[in-house]
């Protein structure tokens, strides 16, 4: 996680988005424009470089995010139905070696 200073313009865009709550009839027309403005302001800010690194397929951050997502989706796969007291380090190691890691490309 990282943080960066924000600009008055970005805060203004968020303020305009929140103001739409007081004018629900304008939401279908204006909200997508304000959301695009917010995206543009973030991408062109100092934090934009970090954001681009996260979504770029060849970057270490992207690969790390892919592995974390895979672990979250599969971490109980081999232990489902197993008695935790009967698990030993070697059986866990053997079960984990059968899982296929996702492709990083």
Mean pLDDT of 90-103: 47
Pick the range with the lowest mean pLDDT from 16-25, 57-66, 76-85, 87-96. 87-96
State pTM to two decimals: 0.50
Q: Are residues 51 and 15 in the same domain?
A: yes
Residues 93, 97: Cα–Cα separation, whole Å: 6
Reported as a single tens digit per residue, the pLDDT across 1-14 is 667 788 999 999 99
Same domain, 36 and 61: no
Predicted confidence at residue 94, as pLDDT, reads 46
Domain count for the chain: 2
Provide the 3-class DSSP secondary structure of residue 77: coil
pLDDT at 17: 95
Q: Are residues 24 and 48 in the same domain?
A: yes
Are 66 and 101 in the same domain?
yes
Please provide the distance, in angstroms rounded to a whole number, between the alpha carbons at the two ends of the chain. Answer: 23
**pLDDT for 3-53, tens place per residue?**
778 899 999 999 999 999 999 999 999 999 999 999 889 888 888 877 777
- Domain ranges, residue 62: 57-105
């Amino acid at each position: 996680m990282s943080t960066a200073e924000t600009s008055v313009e970005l805060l203004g865009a968020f303020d305009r988005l929140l103001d739409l709550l007081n004018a629900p009839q304008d939401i279908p027309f204006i909200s997508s424009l304000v959301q695009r403005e917010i995206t543009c302001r973030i991408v062109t800010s100092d934090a934009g470089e970090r954001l681009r690194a996260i979504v770029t397929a060849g970057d270490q951050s992207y690969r790390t995010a892919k592995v974390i997502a895979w672990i979250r989706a599969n971490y109980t796969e081999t232990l489902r139905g197993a008695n935790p007291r009967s698990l030993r380090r070697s059986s866990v190691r053997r079960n984990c070696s059968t899982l296929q890691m996702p492709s990083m490309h």
